[in-house]
Amino acid sequence: MNKKDIQREVNIIEQSNDYKRYNIRLIKLFYDYATQYRFRAKEYFDGDSFKYNNEVIDAVNNSIETFLPEEGKLFDYIKKSVENNINRMHGKETTAKARGGMSVSRSNQKLIRAIIAFSKTRQDDESEAKSPQTLNEKEIEEVAGYLKISVRKVKELIRMNNPVASLNYKQEFQDGDEAEYGDDAEDKSIDIDSDSEFIFLIQEKIKQIAGIYDKSQERTKQYDSALFTGACLKFLNKCRFDDKTICNLLENENFIDRDIFNNFKTNHKVPYIVETAKRFGRCFTDASRRLRETGVSNVLKSKN
């Protein structure tokens, strides 16, 4: 089956509005898409077997649960999810290989991802984002405070992430102590949820949206507040943060519509954009255009 035929069949399934009924068929279609078009290279196979079957299945199942017509086309939505899942897993395997097979505990891996995410929010100049290896002492102290670990531990994790690190490498610290990579002596002090690696980037996005709201004209502030709140809740929900984390991220922001926010806290209700538009006597098209014109849509779509 060629790519156009796959897309055509997914479009037919979309028109049925009963995606769950076609769950198995969608998995097969996107398995074909992944193995025949997007991920054909040998590195994605173990002999004749595709290495990322589970990533395809998870992506399709999750997409069926979360897709809304306002998102665009079902094919594009699932395709993006499949590609993200496979690229994420492939990236982890590539990183492990680059580390010379060095074993890294799951808790340390989460912390390393958090440090990488933090680094992306800092820049050496106007165009180039930092890497963990280029963080200065003040920034290392900042990330240590956020993750509730020591500065020494952060430096250890940064060296652990260095592609030239080896299994037998040991980091010598100024106080004379040593720590082997993979050592979890400090892990019991870590108070961090499984999505922490994204929080630095998310906080930057929220700051950008708050800045956009500050520039809103007085006559549009209520409308913008409702739209921006709904957009943020939807985005954070799709990122799979738990409700407590979402509320903590948004609680004190000046652009938050309190009715929408409190309804989410009480009922886990994220309003459809068309519902918010109707509240102000507007339509879906007007609301979507407003999010685009203000730049909020772009902020929530961007990776960095």
pLDDT, tens digit (0-9, with 9 covering 90-100), for 59-86: 999 888 888 887 789 999 999 999 988 9
Token output for 96: 């492990």
**pLDDT at residue 231 tops 60:** yes
Do 125 and 154 contact (CB within 8 A), yes or no?
Answer: no
151: Cβ contacts below 8 Å, ≥ 6 apart:
140, 141, 144
**Phi then psi dihedrals of residue 303, to 5 deg:** -85, -25
**Listed ranges 100-114, 171-185, 226-240; the one with the highest mean pLDDT:** 226-240
Structure confidence at residue 182 (pLDDT): 34
Sign for the CA dihedral angle at 288, 289, 290, 295 comes to positive
Sequence-separated (6 or more) residues with CB below 8 Å from residue 174: none
Whether the Cβ atoms of residue 94 and residue 75 lie closer than 8 Å to each other: no
> For the ranges 45-54, 175-184, 215-224, 240-249, which has the lowest average pLDDT?
175-184
| Ramachandran class of 2: left when φ > 0, alpha when ψ lies in -120 to 50, beta otherwise | beta
Most confident region among 5-9, 158-162, 296-300 by mean pLDDT: 5-9
Give the whole-angstrom CA distance, residue 58 versus residue 21: 16
| Residue 163 or 282, more confident | 282
Q: Give the H or E element holding residue 45.
A: strand 45-46
Cα–chain-centroid distance for residue 39? 21
Q: Which residue has the higher pLDDT, 188 or 233?
A: 233
DSSP strand E in 133-239: where?
170-172, 178-180
Percentage of the chain surpassing pLDDT 70? 80
Domain boundaries, the chain: 3-98, 106-189, 198-301
**pLDDT band (50, 70, 90) for residue 97:** low
Nearest alpha carbon to residue 232 among 276, 191, 194: 276
pLDDT at 191 over 50: no
Q: pLDDT higher for 117 or 44? A: 44
What is the structure's pLDDT at 302? Answer: 53
**Residue 31 in this model has a pLDDT that exceeds 90:** yes
pLDDT score, position 210: 95
For 276, what's the count of Cα atoms within 13 Å in the CB-facing half-sphere?
27
Percent of the chain scored above 90 by pLDDT?
40
226 versus 131: which is more confidently predicted?
Answer: 226
The number of beta carbons lying within 10 Å of the beta carbon of residue 24 is 10
Q: Is 162 exposed, middle or buried (0-12, 13-18, 19+ CB in 10 A)?
A: middle
* 44-71: average pLDDT: 88
- At residue 105, what are phi and psi to the nearest 5 degrees? -65, 160
Torsions phi, psi of 179, nearest 5?
Answer: -140, 125
Q: How far is CA 6 from CA 62, 74, 110, in A?
A: 19, 12, 36
What pLDDT is stored for residue 103 in this prediction? 60
Contacts of 268 (CB under 8 A, 6+ apart): 243
pLDDT for position 142: 84
Instruction: Indicate yes or no: pTM above 0.85.
Output: no
**Residue 121: pLDDT band by 50, 70, 90 thresholds?**
low
Residue pair 299/208 in contact by the 8 Å Cβ criterion: yes
- Indicate if the pLDDT at residue 94 is higher than 90: no
Tokens coding 100? 């010379």
Higher pLDDT, 240 or 248: 248
Tokens of 53: 């079957």
107-121, 148-162, 255-269, range with greatest mean pLDDT = 255-269
